[in-house]
Amino acid sequence: MKDWKMWAPVQTKEQREVADNLTQSEKEEATKLAKELGKKAGIFSFPSLLIICVLYECTSLSSNAKFLISLSVFILNYLLFLIFIGLPIRKRQKALLNNSKYAREKRLTV
């Protein structure tokens, strides 16, 4: 892949092809989306990491209880992030690919 900003683990061959042929302005939009995702991931993750740190430092729970609560907080955080931030931004990235000059010329839908 030529450009990592539009990379995704489950990316299809067509998505990769379109992403490799984005115009400069489309690449700039992809960069904005990638930065937005990164910022929101950091902001969204901070409270759950804080909860886990406090849980380990300030409670008298058993190690197993701390681990299970931490795992639950982590999984809940991941699912909420995926639903409210990750999937909507991924949807916008796919729309960017579908509306790109290359995709329109080749009549590709990703």
Residue 4 lies in a domain: no
Residue 24 lies in a domain: no
pLDDT, residue 58, reads 85
Residue 99 lies in a domain: yes
Gap between the Cα atoms of 99 and 105, Å rounded: 10
pLDDT means per 10 residues, the chain with 110 residues, are 69 89 92 93 92 88 92 95 94 94 94
Say if residues 18 and 10 touch (Cβ distance below 8 Å).
Answer: no
Residue 12 lies in a domain: no
Angle, in degrees to the nearest 10, between helices 13-20 and 87-98: 70
pLDDT, residue 5, reads 65
Gap between the Cα atoms of 28 and 43, Å rounded: 23
Say if residues 39 and 86 touch (Cβ distance below 8 Å).
Answer: no
Return the sign of the alpha-carbon dihedral for residues 76, 78, 82, 86: positive
Domain extent for 51: 30-106
Q: Total structural domains in the chain?
A: 1
pLDDT, residue 76, reads 95
